[in-house]
Structure 1
Amino acid sequence: MKAKPSAASRTIQTSLVLPSDTNQHGTIFGGTMMSYIDEVAAIAAMKHCRTTVVTASIDSIDFLSPVKMGHSLCIEAFVTATGTTSMEVFVKIISEDLQTGERQLTATSFLTFVAVDERGRPVPVPPVYPQSTEEQELFQSASERRRMREARRANSKRMIDHLDLTHRS
């Protein structure tokens, strides 16, 4: 399979923060931002592999600054690293006060997607290669994030053995 540049998967979505998107503080709900992150990251992953994908993990979402009603969000995502059937996607969100033009980094996130066929079975994805400085730095640090992801998954599997699944609401 021929390798593709990270830039080929780059996906950008701009949204306006409306009253229905905000909490009692007049800032965007974290869950609304999480939904945007998953959607844009999934599109970037599908652009890379040109098939359906499923979200395998959301490693982190770091909320760095609040976003007020009336501000815009620029959500940017691209594939930073690949495995055999999986892709790591980086997302950054920049907010902008549309009246002053002030922009700030609002959130960052790493997600993993698995490419699947029509029956939901994993399928191979093309390798990715970085070009820009940002892409190169994220590509070089991807193996450490993968190691942490695998350790977290192993811990989750161990914890499942001790969960009580008998309580019903």
Structure 2
Amino acid sequence: MLRKQKPVKDSFVTMTELVLPNDTNTLHNLMGGRMMHLMDIAAAVSAQRHSNRIVVTASVDNVSFREPIRLGNVVTLQAQVTRSFSSSMEVHIDVWAEDIPSGTKIKSNEAFYTFVAVDQSGRPIDVPEALAETPEDIQLYEGALRRRQLRLVLAGRLKPQDATELKSLFEIE
């Protein structure tokens, strides 16, 4: 059965937070755990928008902390589904830190989260196919299968020889 298609742009989420003292460590930087909490929320909303379902976090990978986010900065998270599979969706998140008084804005974090859509009983349920339209969205879409296969190989849920998109990374005979 063909799945309904839904443009990835329909899953786009922007979330903005102000870094307050309770969010920071002793160096007055946003705590990493707090950042991951915010990222999980933004990514979950994106996955829910795509699937119109309850979603649960299945994996978090490639969270990079490039630059510290300081007390008083404004944090902007942008999340969007990159690709969907039968019941799972990969969501890409970019995080920007803005120092409004100085007029500076830097990209501080980036990540890929995977969510599974579930029914009221917690069982996986089908989601719409993701339709990538812009060159950037198409590039993220095309890389999603490689990232998914790598996640599954690392989790022991897929044999390396069955990872069709990763054969060049593994010595398989």
TM-score over 0.5 for the alignment? yes
Q: Secondary structure, in 3 states, of the residue corresponding to 2:30?
A: coil
- Superimposed CA distance per residue, residues 106-131 of structure 1 (whole angstroms, 9 cap, x where no aligned partner): 10010110000000000000000112
- The structural deviation recorded for 1:154 is 0.3
Matched, 1:101 2:85: no
1: CA distance, partners of 2:136 / 2:75: 20
Q: Which letter does structure 2 place at the counterpart of 1:149?
A: R
2: CA distance, partners of 1:92 / 1:84: 25
2: CA distance, partners of 1:89 / 1:52: 15
Q: Which letter does structure 2 place at the counterpart of 1:30?
A: G
Q: Secondary structure, in 3 states, of the residue corresponding to 1:154?
A: coil
Matched, 1:142 2:144: yes
- The structural deviation recorded for 1:2 is 1.9
Could you tell me which residue of structure 2 aligns to residue 116 of structure 1? 118
Could you tell me which residue of structure 2 aligns to residue 64 of structure 1? 66
Could you tell me which residue of structure 2 aligns to residue 29 of structure 1? 31
Indicate which of 54, 57, 61 corresponds to 1:55: 57
4+ runs of 1 displaced by more than 4 Å?
Answer: none
- TM-score where L is the length of structure 2: 0.87
**How many aligned positions are there?**
155
Q: Which letter does structure 2 place at the counterpart of 1:29?
A: M
Q: Which letter does structure 2 place at the counterpart of 1:124?
A: D
89-98 or 124-133, which deviates more: 124-133
Structure 1 unpaired stretches of 5+: 156-169
- Superimposed CA distance per residue, residues 68-118 of structure 1 (whole angstroms, 9 cap, x where no aligned partner): 001100001010011100000000101101112211111001011000000
Could you tell me which residue of structure 1 aligns to residue 153 of structure 2? 151
Q: CA RMSD in A?
A: 1.0
The percent of aligned pairs where both chains have the same amino acid is: 37
Structure 2 unpaired stretches of 5+: 158-173
- TM-score where L is the length of structure 1: 0.89
Matched, 1:132 2:131: no
Matched, 1:77 2:79: yes
- The structural deviation recorded for 1:132 is 2.3
2: CA distance, partners of 1:94 / 1:137: 21
Q: Which letter does structure 2 place at the counterpart of 1:19?
A: P
